[in-house]
Homo-oligomer: A and B are copies of this chain.
């Protein structure tokens, strides 16, 4: 993940264009089964329209003293995304309305876009901006905006059933590491891992699609089936820094996605900050929209909007660590394991089964049960053909994994049976 992130970081991505294609191409090299789709500019997507494609090649300003400023080749955040081509000279005062900086973060370049209104601009550290001298500036933007396609990558890993678990992430940001890119590479690693398995109960769908317009484009073609088959979905982003764990619930808050995230965190004794859906900020905005209503939630580290470097040049590879990426991967891996095992069981007996004859219970009573016996005893009290394993492990107050393995023993002993 760390290597992929390092290779992908420098590319200037946007919601369309060569940078996006190059990124998706990189993913496809790792997993050739990823399909790259393209939706033509101008196509209607619900309330939206696929925009023209944008391809930046170069951009900078030259100041009164001849120095190059806001050089796109030094940092692609310097150029407002979707800036139109431009070559002209203008005074600093005329230029000001096209400059963007953040007073409170004077050393960071902000990230700005203008996808749906033709505009142009440069982003730079506020300290740099303040030191700009009066005079005439040469503005140079070599970019192209013309009809093309919006691309996204999609991968379906079939399991034994059509029931789907879905992961969505957005490879549409330029050189930003934690927001966007961390999710892109973790999705890649999770997919790669699942590709190697032939025991999957669920089918797994991965989506690498531009935020908002890209997820809507996918929904436009898939919403009907998605509502039938998706059991739980997750937006992968903000997973690479060392910040606290953050949980963004679904709109309704009690979907399987919510339940598995919170149970996993609880079982692992992991502290986390819980947010409100009012604070949502990524593609759960589309997947949980009242008229879409898919069971999506999100587990992140430092959540979008809440960390100092968010949407600035500070969100670079220095913010990420291989260890944090790996831990995030591990957490989602546990979520997958739990979902795969999250079935419903019912008793095969009326009244308690006779465990002694199955060697699951000491034949000589001594009034105390060992740990496994105790967990099985609690399970047998509640497994009723309605509670799934997540609910069952909550009600017996034992870790999911412990309950799951003891349930398997009880199934093997023919005292519990799988319902669904």
- The distance in angstroms between the C-alpha atoms of A190 and B100, with both chains bound, is 54
Q: Given known contacts A278-B381, A364-B80, is B112 in contact with A352 (CB within 8 Å)?
A: no
Interface positions of A from 333 to 365, Cβ below 8 Å from B: 346-347, 349-354, 356-357, 363-365
Q: Which residues of B contact A292 (CB under 8 A)?
A: 350-351
CB of A277 closer than 8 Å to a CB of B: yes
CB of A233 closer than 8 Å to a CB of B: no
**Shortest CB–CB separation between residue A314 and chain B, in angstroms?**
13
User: Chain A: interface secondary structure?
Assistant: loop
- The distance in angstroms between the C-alpha atoms of A398 and B177, with both chains bound, is 34
B289, B305, B364: the one within 8 Å of A350 (CB): B289
Q: Given known contacts A116-B356, A311-B367, A367-B305, is B350 in contact with A223 (CB within 8 Å)?
A: yes
- Tally of A interface residues using CB under 8 Å: 58
Interface digits, A52-92 against B, CB 8 Å rule (1 contact, 0 not)?
00000000000000000000000000001000000000000
Interface positions of A from 106 to 127, Cβ below 8 Å from B: 110-114, 116-117, 119, 121
**Shortest CB–CB separation between residue A299 and chain B, in angstroms?**
19
Tally of this chain's copies: 3
Nearest residue (CB) in B for A311 is B367
Interface digits, A369-411 against B, CB 8 Å rule (1 contact, 0 not)?
0000000001011111100000000001100000000000000
**Shortest CB–CB separation between residue A135 and chain B, in angstroms?**
25
| A357, B116: Cβ atoms closer than 8 Å | yes
Q: Which residues of B contact A286 (CB under 8 A)?
A: 351-352
| B365, A114: Cβ atoms closer than 8 Å | yes
Q: Which residues of B contact A367 (CB under 8 A)?
A: 110-111, 305, 310-311
| A114, B350: Cβ atoms closer than 8 Å | no
Contact sample, A vs B, 13 pairs, CB 8 Å cutoff:
A47-B351, A47-B354, A113-B364, A215-B351, A278-B381, A285-B352, A285-B381, A290-B381, A290-B383, A290-B385, A291-B349, A291-B351, A292-B350
New A-B contacts (17) at CB < 8 Å, excluding given A112-B366, A251-B382 = A46-B349, A47-B349, A47-B350, A47-B354, A47-B415, A80-B364, A110-B366, A112-B365, A116-B356, A278-B396, A286-B351, A288-B381, A289-B380, A290-B381, A290-B385, A292-B350, A310-B367
